[in-house]
Amino acid sequence: MNRFDHIVYARTARLLHEHNASDAHLQLCRDMLAETRGDVLISALLDEPDSKEVSPEDLVARVQSVLEALARTDLVLAVGLMARLWPVADRLRLHDICDAIDLWIAETKDPRLLHYLEDFARNEPDAALRRHYRGWCTNLNVIVMQEDNNGNTERNNP
């Protein structure tokens, strides 16, 4: 990542923390997620200015709160980023946050999220995390297929 990218990601992360991201910044976040670079944005969100004074557990909880607030504006983007936060929460044994993310994913019945998760699984080198992503994909795929079979065709596919 070059210096310019780092500055853009840091600025975007700050705007997300402040709940003040523009449509252009949200589009940048969507693009990053689509290019499987959501982990870079999660790193920027975790690297806030006062992060040295806050425990890693509290930082993850803050980022989860930011993403939950973002979900009111852009559900698929927020939950896609939560999926990238999940491994960080798992490493810290923050089971309450992991469980919350699992629930957000289970309740987001959108094929665009499925597309993101399939990309994450396909590109994930860690076997355990890849299995977890595939489990999300399997469950979400069943839900999306059931809704499509019930006549819900008003979806925007990726």
Contacts of residue 61, defined as CB under 8 A and 6 or more positions apart, other chains included, come to: 94, 97
Measured distance CA(149)–CA(139) in Å, rounded: 16
Q: Residue length, the chain? A: 158
Q: 63: which 2 tokens?
A: 């980022």
5-21 pLDDT, tens digit each: 778 778 888 888 888 88
The one-letter amino acid code at 151 reads G
**153 against 33, higher pLDDT:** 33
Q: 11: which 2 tokens?
A: 């600025």
Instruction: Provide DSSP, 31-43.
Output: HHHHTT-HHHHHH
Q: Report pTM.
A: 0.85
29-43 pLDDT, tens digit each: 898 888 878 888 899
133-150 pLDDT, tens digit each: 999 999 888 776 666 666
